[in-house]
Amino acid sequence: MRIGAIEAGGTKFVCGIGDEEGRILDRISFPTERPEPTLGKVIDYFRDKGVEAIGIGTFGPINIDPASPMYGHVTTTPKPGWTGYDFLGTLKKEFDVPFGWDTDVNAAAYGEAKWGAAKGLDSCAYFTIGTGIGVGVYAEGKLVHGLVHPEGGHIPVKRHPDDTFEGFCPYHKDCLEGVAAGPAIERRWGVKGSELGADHPAWAMEAYYIGQAVATAVLMLSPKKIILGGGVMKQEHLLPMIREEAKRYLNGYVRDERVLAGMDEYVVAPGLGEIAGLYGALALGLAAAGRA
């Protein structure tokens, strides 16, 4: 079975072909431009590939309510040309196959649950900490959509006492994303996160914020695994610091060894590495083909 997979990111698109064993047989990547040229490349790529279904995990916010006339559209985004764009409809016109359609983070959570760090578990939360912060939730064997879809990147956080940066979220200023996404690090310290040494105070502050997000996920959702991905998490020393902050915040309240002594296996990096999103899109495609 050949299944198409599209990981639509704010910076780049990755398209690939996979099979039901979770093997990626081919893939390409190109920068995200305005919708027409970008989807033009997607259509060209899949044109002769003979796929039986296509799964899409995309940046958003997007409409994922099948009962809505706006299903398959991007809702609001600062990315030029994409607000209100009929992403799914544009592809459906070209390919007469079943489509899976969900957020990039839900796709990543799904891929991780099927083949990655949460394999065999019926729940996990997947955070991406990159240009923005997003959260995908898989619970009791299903991706969580709810009213629109979770937007856990914009939760309120307690300010770090030494943080004088006002935050960059255009809606909330100092929500989680506003103080802890990659651009917050860059604006606060005047250099990109990738250029800050492991002993720079930026990382303690970052862990303070992400640790709260992890604790919030534990308290709100009680997922069986918490997976932290995205560009900022390339700083490998950050993960142990985040675990410590989450533990400090929870302060023994959740009495389960998996959250206490077992934190190293509970809060982890993506098992599928940087292509968790593409695997997730493949998993969505398989589900659309009835082969989940």
**Contacting residues toward Zn ion, per CB under 5 A:** 154, 169, 171-172, 175
Q: What is the DSSP code (8-state) at residue 46?
A: H
50, 79, 43: which is closest to 62 by C-alpha?
A: 79
Return the ∠ at Cα 78 (arms to 74 and 80), rounded to 5°.
80
Q: Which stretch binds ligand ADP (CB under 6 A): 146-154, 166-174, 185-193, 244-252?
A: 185-193
Q: Is 180 helix (H, G, I), strand (E, B) or coil?
A: helix
Rounded least distance, CB 104 to ligand ADP, Å:
8
- Residue 231 engages ligand ADP in binding (rule: CB under 6 A): yes
Q: By C-beta, is 23 or 187 nearer to ligand ADP?
A: 187
- Give the range of 69-77, 83-91, 158-166, 230-238 binding ligand ADP by CB under 6 A: 230-238
154 touches, from ligand ADP, Zn ion, none (C-beta below 5 to 8 Å by class): Zn ion
Task: Examine residue 9 and tell whether it contacts ligand ADP (CB under 6 A).
Answer: yes
Query: Using the rule CB under 6 A, is 235 a contact of ligand ADP?
Result: yes
Token pair of 195, please?
């250029």
Distance CA 9, CA 108 (A): 12
Q: What is the dihedral of CA 131, 132, 137, 143, to 10 degrees?
A: -80
Largest CA distance in the chain: 57
182, 211, 223, 285: which one contacts ligand ADP (CB under 6 A)? 182
Per CB under 6 A, residues contacting ligand ADP are 9-11, 128, 130-131, 182-183, 186, 192-194, 230-232, 234-235
